Structure 1
Amino acid sequence: MWLCTSAFYRLLMLKRRLVLPMCAIALLLTSCTTSSADAPVVAPARLDSVRADLAELIGSGAVGAVATITDNGATAVVTAGVTDLVEGAPIPDDRAQHVRVGSITKTFTAAIVLQLVEEGLVVLDAPVERYLPGLLRGDGVDANAITVRQLLGHRSGLPLPRTFELTEHQAAVLGRTFTPEEEMTFILGLPAEFAPGARFQYNNTNYLVAGMLIEAVTGRSYSAELTDRIIAPLGLSHTYLPTTGETGLRSPHLSGYTTVDGNVVDETLMEPSLPWTSGALVSTGADLNRFYLALVSGQVVPPAQLRHMLDGVDMGEGNGMSYGLGIGYTQLPCGTRFIGHTGNVRGFGAIAGATTTGRAFTYSYTGTPTTTTMSTWLTSGLCG
C-alpha cells in the first residue's frame, strides 16, 4: 500500500499547480485497489446504529441531519429531518447536499502548510515573523516567539476574540465584508492569552494567521492553493471556499438554523470572509470522507508530515481526544483510531474523519440540538 500512496503523492506534487486529468488519478488508484466486485457493503447493523444517532439528534432539536459512511470503497448515506422548515421536504439520500463544515476547514489549511513544509518553503519550528514580518504585535504578542507549529497546534497564546462587532450571519445580512488584516487589527488589540507553547487553547486566530502565511509564502490566494493542492487532485467536486460576499450556499444544500431566545431562526446566510481559513469551507459527506481517507493514507501530505500532524496534546476535555496540527485523534473502544475534526458555525454542525483501516464517516446537522454525543457517533460510524 505504501508504494501506491507514495506514487500517488509524487504525482500530486509533480502537477501541484495544474488541474490533473481525473483519468490519470483514476488509473493510478485502480492499480492499487481491488475490483469493485470485491468491495464490501456497509453493514446494515451499522447503518441502523447510525439511524438511531440521527433520530436522537432530530429529537433533541436538530432540523436536518445527514450521515455518510464509507467502508473500503462502499458508501452509504443516511438522513433524518428536513432540508428546510419552509418546504419541509425530507433530505434526499444522495451525496450532494452542501453544508457548512466550520472548523473542519482547519485540517485543509494545516495540510497545505505541511505541504509547504515538505517543499522546503516553510519550517515548522521557525518563528512566524520569518513569513509575516511585522504582523503579530501587541500586548504580550511576539511573532519571534511564536512558531508555525504552535499556530497549527493551538499553542501560540495569541489573543482569543471572544466577541466581535458582528456575527457571520449579521455581516451577511448587512453586506459587511472583512479582510484578514482588518480582523487581525481587532484581535491584536486584545492581550495575549499565555506565553507561546505554555498550553493548548483552541483559537480561530491561529488559522487566520496560517491562511495569511500560506498566501505570503506562495504569492497566491488561499483559495487557489486549496483548489490546486487538494480539491482538484482529489476530485472533491462538491467542496469549495465561498468567495468574499458569497453569503448563500450553492444548490443543493441544507438550510442552517439557530435557536435564539427560544425561536428557531434561519441563519443559512454567512459572510465567509470572517471565518475564512479557520472555518468557511462548504462540502458534502462524500467529499469529506474521501479527503480524510486520502489524508490518513499519505495521499495529501507524505507520511513524515502526517506524523507531525498526529503529534499533539490532550485537549483537556476528559474524552481522550488529542489535537495535533489541524487534526484531532483518539482511540475508539473497538481498537481503531479516529482521525478527523469537528466543525460548528451558526446553523450548522459537523464531525468528519477516518481510520487507517479504510473507514470514514461524516455526520452533519442543522439547528441547535441539545444532544451531540460525539463519542457515540464515533463508535457508530467507525466501529460497527
Structure 2
Amino acid sequence: MNHKLYMAALALLISGCVKDDPVFPKSAFDCAIGVQNTHPDSLRFTNFLEEKVQEGLPGISMLIETPDGIWSGAAGLADIPNNITLNSCNKHKLGSSTKVFTATLIFQLYEEGRLRFDDAITKFLPDSLINKIANYKEVTVKNLLTHTSGIPDYLDIAYSLKYYDDPTRVWTDKQELELVYKEPAVFAPGTKVDYSNSNFLLLGMIAKQLTGQTGTALYTSKIFDPLGMSNSFFNEDGTIPDDLTRGYFDENGKGNFIDITQRSFAAHSMAGGAVSTVAELHRFVKTFWNGNSLVSEETKNEITTLDEIPFLHPDKFNYGEENKVNKIQGIGLCWFQMDTDYGIAYGHDGGYDGRRSVMRYFPDSQSYIVYFVNGSGESIRPILRELRRNEMIELLFE
C-alpha cells in the first residue's frame, strides 16, 4: 500500500468522519485475566509498559513466555474519554495478523487433499470473478501465500478515498477485489515478493468456495473452538461490541488521539478483521508451532523453507545491523521469517487505523511475545518502530 498517500488522505478526511465519543461503563471492559504471572522479570515487564504509555502510547497489552516463565500485563487506557484502564484480557482487532488464521485454513485444506500449493487459482474461483485481475491465469495458491503473485494491493489510495467517504461501510470481498480490476501487474508471478492484501482476500475466497462456509464459521470451527479461544472472533459483519478496546488515531501528530473504532476497515475479506486477546493469540502461535493439532510438521517445514525470490523493495525489509531485528529474510507461506541477534523469529504484524498487533516466536529459545497497541499516527510511529526492532528483543533476552 502507498502509505504516504494513504496518510495524506486520512489527514484530509478524518475530521469529518468521527462522531462524538460513545459512553461505556467501566464494567463493559471487565474480563478475567486468566494468566498467572510466573516469570521472574514480571516487574520489569510491567514497568516497561508503563514507560511506553508515558512516552505516548494510548494503551499497550503484552504477553511474554520464555523457558523461565510466563507473564501478561497492560498499561494505559482501553477507552480514553471514559478513563477506562486497559487490561491484558481486553479484546483488540488484529488487522493483518488475521492472515495467519486464513493461512492455517488453507494449510488444513491442503492436508485434507482439497488443494495443492501449486494449483492455479482458476481451479477454485470462477473466471467471471477473477478475469479482470492481473496475472490471474498464472497465479497459484503458493503465490498468494508467499506474496509473489504480482497482483496489486487493493488497499491503496483508491480504496482509502472510497473508505473515508463512508468509514463504517462493510465491504464484501468481491467489492474489495473489484478495486484492482484492470490494474496492471506489479511483476510476473514468482519473480518478486511484495506484500499485497489482495492475496489473502483471494485465499479467503478460495477457502469459502471450497467449503461452502463463511469466514466466521471457518475460523470458529477450525481454529477458535478447537483451541478454546472463546474471546476471539471474526468481525465479519463490522459490528463493534462494547467490550472491544477502542482504537485511536493521532490526527495532527501531536498526541491528540481521536476514537476511530467504528471504522470497519476491510473486515469481510479474511485479510483482516479478526479480534482476539494477547493470551489467546499466544495460545494460537504456541499451538501452531509446537503442536500438531492445527497443521502437521511437514507443512511447517514447507513454511520455514524459503524460496530464493527477492523482495521488490528490499530496503524496506533490511533494518541494518544496528538493530536487534536485522532484517526480514522472506515470507514463507504467510509467516514472516526474521533474522535477529538471538536467532530466527517467525511472526506477523497487523497495523492500520488505531491499531498495531505483533506476534513473534523464537524457536531457538522457545520464546514468544505478543502485544497490541490501540493507537496509530505520526507521534507514536517512532515508539512502535523501536519496540518492533529492538525493545521486544531486549525484553526477551537481555
Q: TM-score, normalised by structure 1?
A: 0.80
Distance between the aligned counterparts of 1:311 and 1:381, measured in 2? 28
Distance between the aligned counterparts of 1:211 and 1:123, measured in 2? 15
Distance between the aligned counterparts of 2:395 and 2:310, measured in 1? 22
Does 1:48 pair with 2:55? no
For the 8 Å contact 1:314–1:323, the answer to whether it is kept is no
1:42-84 CA distance string (max 9 Å, x none): 131x6515643x3453344321111111235953222222222
Name 1:267's counterpart in structure 2: 260
Name 2:345's counterpart in structure 1: 338
Name 1:327's counterpart in structure 2: 335
Distance between the aligned counterparts of 2:135 and 2:390, measured in 1? 41
Does 1:359 pair with 2:359? no
For the 8 Å contact 2:249–2:354, the answer to whether it is kept is yes
Name 1:70's counterpart in structure 2: 65
Name 1:375's counterpart in structure 2: 389
AA matched with 2:350: G
Identity of aligned residues (%): 25
Does 1:85 pair with 2:92? no
For the 8 Å contact 1:50–1:67, the answer to whether it is kept is no
1:342-380 CA distance string (max 9 Å, x none): 111210101012233543221111222132221224414
AA matched with 1:351: V
Number of aligned residue pairs: 337
4+ aligned runs moved over 4 Å, structure 1:
165-173, 272-275
Equivalent residue for 1:231, pick from 224, 229, 232 = 224
Alignment of 1:1-384 (within 5 A): 41-44=38-41, 48=44, 51-52=47-48, 54-55=49-50, 57-71=52-66, 74-92=69-87, 95-134=88-127, 135-138=129-132, 141-161=134-154, 162-166=156-160, 170=164, 175-246=168-239, 248-251=240-243, 253-262=244-253, 263-271=256-264, 273-274=266-267, 276-299=269-292, 300-312=294-306, 316=314, 317-318=317-318, 319-321=326-328, 322-335=330-343, 337-356=344-363, 357-368=365-376, 369-370=380-381, 371-372=383-384, 373=386, 374-384=388-398
For the 8 Å contact 2:278–2:371, the answer to whether it is kept is yes
RMSD in angstroms over aligned alpha carbons?
Answer: 2.5
- Secondary structure, aligned partner of 1:129: helix
Distance 1:167 1:85, change over 3 A: farther
- Secondary structure, aligned partner of 2:225: helix
Name 1:21's counterpart in structure 2: none
AA matched with 1:67: M
1:291-333 CA distance string (max 9 Å, x none): 0001111432101111222233675311322321111122432
Distance 1:183 1:169, change over 3 A: closer
AA matched with 1:308: E
Distance between the aligned counterparts of 1:116 and 1:171, measured in 2? 38
Deviation at 1:127, TM superposition (A): 0.8
Distance between the aligned counterparts of 2:150 and 2:282, measured in 1? 32
For the 8 Å contact 1:259–1:265, the answer to whether it is kept is yes
AA matched with 2:80: L
Distance 1:302 1:177, change over 3 A: same
Distance 1:250 1:88, change over 3 A: closer
